[in-house]
Chains A and B, each alone.
Chain A
């Protein structure tokens, strides 16, 4: 030992690593435990986000549930013929979308003009639609199908009656329209619809700059018993007094119930699982300290301060927490990426790595682990060393 050189010995980090290396299995188990909590939480939160997105998409795909009509619309006639006998200026759409906070209540606004026209040997419902307008902040994808000027989408029955197929030319009151497609059979009035752009429909009907309906989806997501219609009407009255709104109550109610159910489920499960995860992390950290109580007694017997002992245990807890968070995030994320697309098939491509969860895992896991280790370590360190030594 004559060759032993004077060098700093027993530095804090060195002590932590030596202890962990000596108790490899215990450190590994603790690390795996922490990583398991984080991975489960990451996978759960990622899939929760996916489920929320999927639910929104499914409920959105139920279709528009609000119809904003000219105020003077004869509702008897409306329900008989399926469109308003009145028109209103197209500029009202712009007025509505520029109204502050409108997208908190109404979204996916789609202006249209519907008129009954003679076509071939019978009649058809001409539906001119404008592109949907959504909130610029929320970056929502537009609903419905896109229409090119000069093209037409034919309802199934109409296509059958006129004997047209995609690529054929259709003459409508002097306007030539190329048939983009004949739609599948929906089994409703859409089978006799002739879809064109709003501008083409306005040209055909001679109602330039006019619309007779704005479709929308309500964002309140209130069930029928919560009376969403009165709220929607009061909102519209303030923003667009020239119009009135009707709600497809059955559809809106189903949509609201579905979303409320999902939200309630997660609002119950998420905090519960987060608390369970936090307790799990805390238990691992506390068990580690308990096992080393006699060691705390030795440190104290040798005259080391409570602060030094706490640092030793906190250091290990922080280190394991940090590494556990990294490992857990990686595993949990992979799990969500692997399982998510199987469950959430509509929005499968939207399941992506949620980097914010890595940040929170790196903050909370070491913090919880350190807090849980700190309390028993400080209790043991503040006792007379004899008590800790006697436990060995």
Chain B
């Protein structure tokens, strides 16, 4: 489904060039739940953003269902993100001035049925009572569930989650991971960046990064970092 070939990303800095990704190869199959782990600065988030067509790599390519994403225009990538990918961020990145319902409907502006879809998702994620609340009126766990619901609004094939449990207590973190697992069970693909063992315990495969390189792949539930 998603193939990264020879993927590198370099950033200039005062100390010279930083290699955030270094000739990385990766293949993600449809319906897979992949966890990406590694120390801070190992390139996890850079890899996730690059796979999600949000950050152009310095070299290499990202192919989604046969289409090289970075050969497309910025507008085409935006359209692809809107239709195929749902994002969940550690900092939630909800629109602070929009209600829960409006945040969900950002995906489906003017699309018929978007409110019903949001209704169903909020019901599933136990957020019915928060529909007209603003993000700052919600708990961290609720915010992350709203972000999850938003990611699922367009019925994407792929969810990219960047440390979605980083700001949550274990109970809420488990809840979020369970929802991601359910998404996987319904045929979706999940790529999750995480520091913790809890989140990766829900994954089918866990990869470990170090200095932008693939260090190790663990099939099944990875419990400890190498």
Contacts and interface: CB of A to CB of B under 8 A. Distances in A.
Contacts of B110: 8
B93 A294 contact: yes
Contacts of B128: 1
A22 B150 CA distance: 21
Interface residues of B, number: 41
B170 to A, nearest CB: 26
Nearest to B55: A386
A8 B93 CA distance: 23
Contacts, number: 91
Interface in A23-40: 23
Contact of B122 (A1, A15, A19): A1
Given A1-B123, A303-B78, A22 B97 contact: yes
Interface string B76-95: 00111111000101010101
Interface residues of A, number: 34
Interface in A256-305: 294-295, 297-298, 300-305
B81 A302 contact: yes
B114 A22 contact: no
B115 A6 contact: yes
| Most chain B CB neighbours (cut-off 10 Å) among A1, A305, A389 | A1
Contact of B74 (A4, A11, A382): A382
Contacts of B87: 301-302
B82 A302 contact: yes
B10 interface: no
A9 B54 contact: no
B113 interface: yes
B105 A386 contact: no
A329 B113 CA distance: 46
B72 to A, nearest CB: 13
Interface string A140-171: 00000000000000000000000000000000
Contact of B115 (A5, A302, A387): A5
B105 A384 contact: no
A15 B96 CA distance: 11
Contacts of A295: 95
A359 B52 CA distance: 48
A360 interface: no
